């Protein structure tokens, strides 16, 4: 489908600078855009590309004033990134939607599955499972006994949802993710072996949660592992048994949260962050990539490093580490001078 700058500006509430009739049929990154595509400039670090991009249309902020000629027609908006998101949603909605039930699938007689769902081939839906309206369940998905899934949920290929777990409305679970596998619970025995502790709890995903590919969320030993409304987890995230993740918290790839830890609302975790078990992380906490959190964290903190400390303190420590080589050299020189002075005094 093609859209003119005039149509796009009308949809986004933007102002046009340039040819209002120019057409685009695709979106592209600003440094890679070609004629017939629309791009955007949101991060000032990419400003240089607005003068070299071959895109036909570019979304920019209302206060942007080019310092030299540009090729694309400009559409000035309040927030180019948010506007780009709206355009991507339009493109996604324009794609063809699968419907119906492919073969072969197994749907237990006691399961509740509405007529408007899509179920891909080789899917298994267990006894007493409940699937909500408008769900898209792609091939090779396993939905265990007594699972409850809300409306408009998307389960991509290979997702596994173990027995008894609950998924809210409008959730998206990407390929290979596992919801409700056993928590890592083993009791040490006198002979040095470990006895498995039965994990009889469940996992609860509230509404509007999205899980990246190959993310795992363990079922609780007792009670529930809970991922609150609006949480977004990247690929390869591990959430252990009895963890609670607060509303609208986001975690980048390879984050690991140990058992029984409580994470607050509106937190942001960089990639490969690790949190020890039985900890409490407050609300609005920002954690830098590869940080380790062995202790509780108060609300509204920005931390990084291992052990994680306030960002300013971490920066100070980094400066000190960089000075260690020179400091060591200075100490050796002082030791040498001291030895020389001792000889002179003798």
Active site residues: 241
Q: How far apart, in whole angstroms, are the C-alpha atoms of residue 215 and residue 254?
A: 9
Smallest Cα–Cα separation from 175: which of 209, 118, 137? 137
Q: How far apart, in whole angstroms, are the C-alpha atoms of residue 212 and residue 216?
A: 9
| Residue 237: partners with Cβ closer than 8 Å, 6 or more residues away | 211, 212, 215, 216, 251, 253, 254, 255, 256
CB 148 within 8 A of CB 113: no
Q: How far apart, in whole angstroms, are the C-alpha atoms of residue 252 and residue 212?
A: 9
Edge-first strand listing for the sheet containing 224-227: 130-131, 148-149, 166-167, 202-205, 224-227, 244-245, 262-263, 280-281
Q: How far apart, in whole angstroms, are the C-alpha atoms of residue 45 and residue 76?
A: 18
Task: Please provide the size of the chain in residues.
Answer: 346
Q: How far apart, in whole angstroms, are the C-alpha atoms of residue 270 and residue 287?
A: 6
Q: How far apart, in whole angstroms, are the C-alpha atoms of residue 4 and residue 9?
A: 9
């Amino acid at each position: 489908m093609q859209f003119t700058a005039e149509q796009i500006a009308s949809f986004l509430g933007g102002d046009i600078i340039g040819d209002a009739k120019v057409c685009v049929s695709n979106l592209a990154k600003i440094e890679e855009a070609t004629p017939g595509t629309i791009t955007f400039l949101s991060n000032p670090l990419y400003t240089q590309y607005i003068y070299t991009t071959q895109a036909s249309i570019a979304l920019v902020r209302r206060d942007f004033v080019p310092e030299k000629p540009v090729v694309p027609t400009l559409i000035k908006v309040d927030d180019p990134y948010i506007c780009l998101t709206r355009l991507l949603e339009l493109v996604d909605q324009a794609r063809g939607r699968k419907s119906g039930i492919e073969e072969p699938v197994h749907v237990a007689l006691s399961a509740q599955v509405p007529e408007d769902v899509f179920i891909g081939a080789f899917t298994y839906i267990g006894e007493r499972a409940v699937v909500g309206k408008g769900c898209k369940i792609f091939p090779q998905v396993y939905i265990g006994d007594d699972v409850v899934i809300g409306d408009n949920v998307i389960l991509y290929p290979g997702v596994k949802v173990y027995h008894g777990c609950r998924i809210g409305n409008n959730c998206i679970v990407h390929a290979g993710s596992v919801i409700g596998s056993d928590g890592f619970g083993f009791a040490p025995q006198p002979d040095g072996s470990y006895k498995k502790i039965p994990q009889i709890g469940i996992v609860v995903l509230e509404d509007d949660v999205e899980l990246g590919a190959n993310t795992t969320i363990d079922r609780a030993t007792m009670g529930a592992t809970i991922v609150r409304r609006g949480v977004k987890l990247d690929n390869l995230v591990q959430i252990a048994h009895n963890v609670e993740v607060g509303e609208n918290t986001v975690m980048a790839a390879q984050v690991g949260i140990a058992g029984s830890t409580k994470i607050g609302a509106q937190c942001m975790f960089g990639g490969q962050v690790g949190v020890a078990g039985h900890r409490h992380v407050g609300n609005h906490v920002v954690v830098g990539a590869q940080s380790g959190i062995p202790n509780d964290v108060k609300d509204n903190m920005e931390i990084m490093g291992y052990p994680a400390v306030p960002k300013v303190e971490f920066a100070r420590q980094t400066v000190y580490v960089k000075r260690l080589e020179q400091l060591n050299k200075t100490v050796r020189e002082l030791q040498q001078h001291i030895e020389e002075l001792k000889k002179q005094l003798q």
